[in-house]
């Protein structure tokens, strides 16, 4: 069984993703409450049938240090959907500095994008204005919640209200 469950803190902020077995155990031991169950599947024992947890909320607040997504090549590609931010190509991807390093550009979330080799070569050491290239999406620092969403590998309908990025502050 490869199903996952979303764990929320007492204040309904997403904390982690765990296995259904662990989520069930937390609910069964009364350390968490079941907020959303998988509507398709259930857990069965010899004598009982239990709802399969999809979203649970901890019964006490757990202080978790601020988590941020690490700036690395793979996370830039994930943020940009593994597509060139100039032409939409998905082959031969590289990283591009919007403000070139040679012109003082930094290696930051807001200055790095995914680009195909062709567009990256076309841009070279020039600025966007000089090349006439247009970005599909402005680069941004992803939030930890967005990272959790991507980490799950699935789009669980039950999770959407709790991972709504419109209500989340991006640091």
State pTM to two decimals.
Answer: 0.63
- Please tell me whether residue 12 adopts helix, strand or coil conformation: coil
* Separation between Cα atoms, residue 148 and residue 80, nearest integer Å: 16
Number of other residues whose CB lies within 10 A of the CB of residue 124: 11
Give the pLDDT confidence score for residue 170 in this predicted structure. Answer: 32
∠ CA 71-76-82, rounded to 5°: 160
Task: Report the CATH fold assignment for 73-131.
Answer: DNA Binding (I), subunit A (1.10.30)
pLDDT digits (tens, 9 = 90+) for 1-32: 578 899 999 999 888 888 999 999 999 999 99
Q: Quick check: 69 and 76 in contact, CB under 8 A? A: no
Residues of the chain with CATH 1.10.30.50: 73-131
The rounded distance, in Å, linking the Cα atoms of 30 and 20 is 15
């Amino acid at each position: 069984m490869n199903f996952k469950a979303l764990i929320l803190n007492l204040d309904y902020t997403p904390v982690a993703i765990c296995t259904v077995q662990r989520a069930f155990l937390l609910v069964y031991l009364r350390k968490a409450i079941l907020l959303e169950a998988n509507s398709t599947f259930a857990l069965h024992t010899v004598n009982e049938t239990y709802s399969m947890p999809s979203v649970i909320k901890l019964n006490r607040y757990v202080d978790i240090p601020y988590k941020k997504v690490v700036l690395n090549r793979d996370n830039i590609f994930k943020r940009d959907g593994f597509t060139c931010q100039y032409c939409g190509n998905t082959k031969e991807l590289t990283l591009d500095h919007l403000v070139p390093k040679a012109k003082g550009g930094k290696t930051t979330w807001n200055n790095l994008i995914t680009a195909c080799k062709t567009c990256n070569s076309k841009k070279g050491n020039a600025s966007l204005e000089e090349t006439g290239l247009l970005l599909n999406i402005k680069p941004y620092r992803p939030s930890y919640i967005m990272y959790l969403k991507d980490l799950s590998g699935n789009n669980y309908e039950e999770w959407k209200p709790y991972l709504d990025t419109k209500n989340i502050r991006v640091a």
